């Protein structure tokens, strides 16, 4: 501030993350966009929330505070799916844990209120965005109010924020009272119930969703269905004597607008004060990566992308992406490898169909699951052209694609030119893909394609790999204990892994984070789109058994796997036979009638009871 001749700032941006000036970090984008609009912005990184001092470092800002927990939800940053404390934090210098509070947005806002009173506070980022309505909090195991109410902030910006935040900033500069700013797209506000807008869709109140799980499921569906920038309605949810109002989502950035955002003067480095602590671990993964798109029309039920970023695809121009690749080749430490040219889903370069450009995405339907929509436009030619151009840039030895390939979309493309190029030019020995499961009933609850699609993809992948004379593998990402997955389903998945000789590195126990349909299923044990009952493994031991089955070959998991097989009535898979999941020459099989008593009931089994098991 001294060097720039500032005696005050317009905004103080408070973040639970370390300061990394790179376009993969949302806080960096928002502060650079505001700077480009002529605002003076100070960045307060990981302040000490137990004292007032840090929050007073820059003095009282002229226009207000912007508050975010960081790149991810603070509770996800602190705890595993089993609610155990994490020992590291990838967004803190040196990876040190504990530098941000639990429920960081609320804690920061309340501290700001205690120091500065009624100063305008705008909250945003993933934690605020996904908690904008009354929601189930997995860590408290209860339904809690909108974070806009619990934090005492004035406005909540959901989604990406490059349009909503500058509009709010300009209106505050022009003298508008923060309480009167109620018409900005991509924002939420709170008003007395007698000032509720007449238009829009109203979902069940906080009090109703807290006391009635069916009402919670209804609310979750309404909230998901209206997240569309073309046909999405304003949404209202009563909280006592107040009304939470969500305006329709912001309009996606055009290609020209995205190009401008990524052309801002990012330092592409962590703050130099972190050098002595080894820097920020989370930066290393994205340092030599380029984002070319936003949005994801895949719409998996367990993913927060549709609720936060939206399902409509926005892209940067080839020129913008190639310019960034050229810039990376001149960065210190660059060794010729671009780690990724991707995004939420790497191989999406345009909306799923032309209808979406005028009418928005279909309500309550998915573009790819369980089967591709007849209107789907599966075409990789533009993405292939972009990658081919990038590979020709001097200094680039190889470009990897690490942000995830949607294999069902790849299989829907009748032209396999990109598939061949992917296998030949963009795989580093292993291609990571996310089938998540192999039981179709579970995949239906996930919003994923059926297992035959993944099997066809894997067959084609290995066929092309063999043809070009390379030894390359598939690394599947799998999920255990997703709502709808029984112990018997987990056994079937383990048998598939054994048959295909797959030993996945990544097995994620389902994590009920706010803002997803799967979390609504976990809490309510209902499918919000059918209102049918859903089996949910909630007890820690039940979840541990499902996870252990997906690592059945690990000696430390043996006891859990045996316990799971007993409970599933599959002791035939314990012993010395080739079909067994657990090798145990001393195991004594139970009598047939005892096995039958251990089988799950029809109510518990969603898929596997329809199959004939080997005996």
pLDDT in tens, 304-324: 988 999 999 999 999 999 999
Which one, of 78, 96, 88, lies nearest residue 139 by Cα?
78
pLDDT in tens, 334-384: 999 999 999 999 999 999 999 999 999 999 999 999 999 999 999 999 999
- Model pLDDT, residue 195: 97
Angle at 159 between CA 448 and CA 79, to 5 degrees: 70
* Residue 318, phi then psi, degrees to nearest 5: -60, -45
- Model pLDDT, residue 125: 96
Q: Where are the beta strands (DSSP E) in 323-371?
A: 337-338, 340-342
Q: Do residues 147 and 139 lie in contact, with contact meaning Cβ atoms separated by under 8 Å?
A: no
Rounded distance between C-alpha atoms, residue 541 and residue 154, angstroms: 42
Beta-ladder partners of 398: 337
Beta-ladder partners of 96: 88
One-character DSSP codes across 448-516: ---HHHHHHHHHHHHHHHHHTT---EEEEEEEES-TT--HHHHHHHHHHHHHTT---SEEEE----TT-
The three-state (H, E, C) secondary structure of 554-602, written as one string: CHHHHHHHHHHHHHCCCHHHEECCCCCCEECCCCCCCCHHHHHHHCCCC
* Ranges under pLDDT 50 in the chain: 592-615
Whole-structure pTM value: 0.92
Q: Do residues 152 and 119 lie in contact, with contact meaning Cβ atoms separated by under 8 Å?
A: no
Run of H or E residues at 522: helix 517-524
Cβ neighbours, 10 Å, residue 153:
31
Tokens of 396: 């680039």
Rounded distance between C-alpha atoms, residue 320 and residue 262, angstroms: 8
Q: Do residues 346 and 340 lie in contact, with contact meaning Cβ atoms separated by under 8 Å?
A: yes
* Residue 302, phi then psi, degrees to nearest 5: -90, -5
Domain residue limits, the chain: 11-246, 467-615
Q: Do residues 493 and 440 lie in contact, with contact meaning Cβ atoms separated by under 8 Å?
A: no
Which one, of 202, 197, 168, 172, lies nearest residue 184 by Cα?
168
User: 11-246 architecture in CATH?
Assistant: 3-Layer(aba) Sandwich (3.40)
- Model pLDDT, residue 588: 65
Cβ neighbours, 10 Å, residue 103:
23
Rounded distance between C-alpha atoms, residue 524 and residue 148, angstroms: 23
Residue 377 is given by DSSP the state -
Tokens of 552: 């059945």
């Amino acid at each position: 501030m001294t060097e720039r001749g500032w005696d005050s700032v317009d905004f103080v941006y408070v973040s639970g993350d370390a300061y990394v000036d790179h376009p993969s970090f949302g806080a960096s984008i928002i502060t650079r966009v505001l700077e480009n609009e002529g605002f003076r912005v100070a960045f307060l990184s990981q302040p000490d929330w137990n004292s007032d001092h840090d929050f007073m470092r820059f003095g009282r800002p002229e226009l207000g505070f912007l508050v975010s927990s960081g790149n991810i939800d603070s509770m996800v940053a602190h705890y595993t799916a089993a609610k155990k404390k994490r020992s590291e934090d990838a967004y803190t210098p040196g990876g040190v844990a504990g530098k941000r509070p639990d429920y960081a947005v609320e804690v920061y806002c309340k501290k700001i209120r205690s120091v500065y009173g009624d100063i305008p506070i705008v909250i945003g980022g993933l934690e605020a965005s996904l908690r904008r309505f009354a929601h189930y909090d997995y860590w408290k195991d209860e339904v809690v109010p909108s974070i806009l109410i619990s934090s005492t902030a004035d406005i909540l910006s959901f989604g990406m924020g490059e349009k909503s935040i500058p509009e709010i900033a300009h209106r505050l500069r022009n003298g508008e009272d923060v309480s009167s700013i109620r018409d900005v797209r991509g924002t939420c506000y709170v008003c007395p119930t007698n000032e509720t807008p007449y238009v829009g869709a109203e979902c069940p109140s906080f009090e109703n969703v807290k006391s009635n799980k069916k009402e919670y499921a209804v609310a979750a569906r309404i909230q998901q269905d209206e997240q569309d920038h073309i046909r999405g309605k304003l949404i209202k949810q009563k909280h006592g004597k107040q009304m939470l109002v969500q305006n329709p989502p912001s309009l996606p950035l055009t290609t020209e607008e995205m190009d401008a955002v990524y052309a801002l003067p990012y330092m592409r480095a962590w703050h130099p004060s972190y050098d002595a602590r080894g820097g920020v671990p989370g930066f290393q993964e994205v340092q030599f990566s380029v984002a070319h798109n936003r949005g994801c029309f895949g719409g998996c039920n367990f993913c927060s992308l549709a609720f936060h970023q939206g399902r409509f695809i926005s892209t940067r121009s080839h020129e913008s992406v190639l310019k960034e690749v050229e810039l990376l080749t001149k960065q210190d430490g660059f060794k010729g490898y671009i780690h990724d040219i991707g995004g939420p889903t790497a191989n999406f370069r345009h909306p799923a169909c032309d209808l979406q450009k005028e009418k928005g995405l279909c309500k309550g339907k998915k573009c790819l699951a369980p089967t591709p929509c007849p209107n789907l436009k599966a075409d990789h030619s533009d993405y292939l052209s972009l990658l081919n151009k990038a590979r020709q840039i001097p200094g680039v030895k190889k470009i990897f694609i690490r942000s995830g390939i949607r294999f069902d979309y790849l299989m829907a493309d009748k032209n396999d030119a990109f598939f061949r190029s992917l296998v030949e030019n963009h795989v580093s020995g292993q291609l990571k893909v996310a089938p998540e499961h192999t039981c179709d009933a579970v995949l239906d609850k996930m919003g994923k394609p059926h297992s035959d699609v993944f099997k066809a993809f894997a067959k084609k992948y290995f066929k092309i790999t063999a043809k070009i004379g390379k030894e390359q593998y598939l690394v599947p990402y799998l999920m255990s204990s997703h709502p709808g997955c029984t112990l018997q389903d987990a056994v079937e998945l383990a048998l598939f892994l054994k048959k295909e000789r797959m030993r996945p590195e990544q097995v994620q126990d389902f994590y009920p984070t706010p803002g997803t349909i799967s979390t609504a299923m976990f809490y309510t044990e209902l499918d919000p789109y059918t209102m049918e009952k859903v089996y949910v493994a909630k007890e820690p031991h039940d979840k541990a058994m499902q996870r252990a089955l997906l690592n059945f070959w690990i000696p430390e998991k043996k006891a859990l796997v045996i316990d799971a097989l007993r409970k599933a009535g599959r002791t035939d898979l314990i012993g010395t036979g080739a079909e067994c999941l657990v090798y145990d020459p001393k195991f004594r099989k139970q009598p047939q009638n005892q096995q039958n008593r251990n089988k799950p009931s029809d109510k518990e089994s969603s898929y596997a009871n329809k199959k004939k098991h080997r005996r």
